[in-house]
Amino acid sequence: MFDLAKTRIGIIGLGYVGLPLAVELGKHFPTVGFDINETRIRELLAGTDSTLEVEPEELKQSKQLRYASRAEDLQECNVYIVTVPTPVDDYKRPDFAPLIGASTTVGRLLKPGDVAIYESTVYPGATEEVCIPILARESGLRFNQDFFAGYSPERINPGDKAHRVTTIRKVTSGSTPEAADYVDALYRRIITAGTHKASSIRVAEAAKVIENTQRDVNIALVNELALLFERLGIDTEEVLLAAGSKWNFLPFRPGLVGGHCIGVDPYYLTHKAQEIGYHPEMILAGRRINDGMGPYVVQRVVKLMNQRRIPVMDAKVLVMGLTFKENCPDLRNTRVVDIVKEFRDYNARVDVYDPWVDAREARHEYDIDLIQEPEAGHYDAVILAVAHQQFQEMGTERIRALGKPNSVLFDVKYVFPSDAVDGRL
């Protein structure tokens, strides 16, 4: 039933996950990259990628890849790979709207023998409980008789040029043993690092969601230690370096925990846990600690300003960096906005500077107007919130020059030594 030689692929969603995958698959199979954002399609047709995940030369190398914003252009496909985001709403509940929309689109296209593969991060069971019924309803086909499904969680790390889609081992799974073999063989065509075939879709879903939950809890522990050591008057970095002299100490550092994965995925797992009557104490405690780090940073900076008799009201504050991590333009779920909001609550005047970010996106997503270039000698406090390479290359001397003579420089990301800044986590 499954023939790799006759595979024609449709990728649903061309963001940080979908585009790199489409480019690699397009080197081996006829592939259609589909996105409802027509601006995104036009930019890719012009040979550029605003996410900076794929270089223009790489886009040219994918000879069998074409782009589309109309669902009808996917009709010839027999494998559909869904790579849309799975955010949470304002109440930290899973927001399945993108996944439901994508499943509806795919369901209307499904033909007997087709396979739908999901890469979006969800809780264990979501693919079969949320997505498959939509596919069956919209197509009128029977699951595991007329059409089949797979799940292969994305492991893209935005901005990471060393770990690419082909060099990260891929977890695969399918709704039947035969479908699982086919999905695994499909990904093995492009994944040089190899694959790990899970025994079921639910196992693959669980494996993905705990990857980031584990990191979230570990970072929360280090964040809590930073809160403790600050009260004890001990430099957290010095403690971590000393502890890290042991071979099996995990090298986590305190900081803001945002992005499309670590700051979101645990809520999918806790949602499912509570749905079945289990209260996940450690995971939710970790989330509370990490979600509180933005206000804590502001509290530390305000304390330093008070010590220097700098009034916080109407103070001029510069926040350097807005993305959720260094050296990429990704703004999804960035927790730097917590710092901006908290300072605004103090009635401080906040400028945000980030050369990686599209100013229109910052305005649209967070109502933040980026400045093009910070003014020297202008600020009462400067917060280095993201460790972009440009900021590291500036050095503390040039960054301090942005502030007034008595200003505070706070380093959230441990970019500079403790004796070169006024405070850090």
Provide the percentage of residues in the chain whose pLDDT is more than 70: 100
Rounded to 5 degrees, φ, ψ at 91 are: -100, 15
Given a cut of 90, whether residue 30 has pLDDT beyond it is: yes
Active site residue 261: yes
246 or 160: whose pLDDT is higher? 246
Mean of per-residue pLDDT scores for the chain: 95
SS3 category, 65:
strand
Element (H, E) at 10: strand 9-12
pTM over 0.75: yes
Q: How confident is the model at residue 305 (pLDDT cuts 50, 70, 90)?
A: very high
Other Cβ atoms less than 10 A from the Cβ of 36: the count is: 17
pLDDT tens readout for residues 84-98: 999 999 888 999 999
Alpha carbon distance 275, 270 (integer Å): 8
Region 201-224: mean pLDDT is 96
pLDDT tens readout for residues 339-354: 999 999 999 999 999 9
Q: What's the DSSP call for residue 193?
A: T
Provide the pLDDT for residue 259: 81
∠ Cα 31 36 40 (to 5°)? 80
Given a cut of 90, whether residue 236 has pLDDT beyond it is: yes
SS3 category, 66:
strand
Region 46-68: mean pLDDT is 92
Provide the pLDDT for residue 60: 87
Q: How confident is the model at residue 152 (pLDDT cuts 50, 70, 90)?
A: very high
DSSP letter string, 105-169: HHHTT--TT-EEEE-S---TTHIIIIIHHHHHHHH-PPBTTTBEEEE------TT-SSS-GGGS-
Alpha carbon distance 362, 60 (integer Å): 30
Provide the pLDDT for residue 31: 97
Provide the pLDDT for residue 1: 80
Region 361-382: mean pLDDT is 96
381 or 260: whose pLDDT is higher? 381
Joined together, the tokens standing for residue 282 give 């450690």
Provide the pLDDT for residue 11: 98
Other Cβ atoms less than 10 A from the Cβ of 273: the count is: 16
Identify the active-site residue in 77, 131, 261, 328. 261
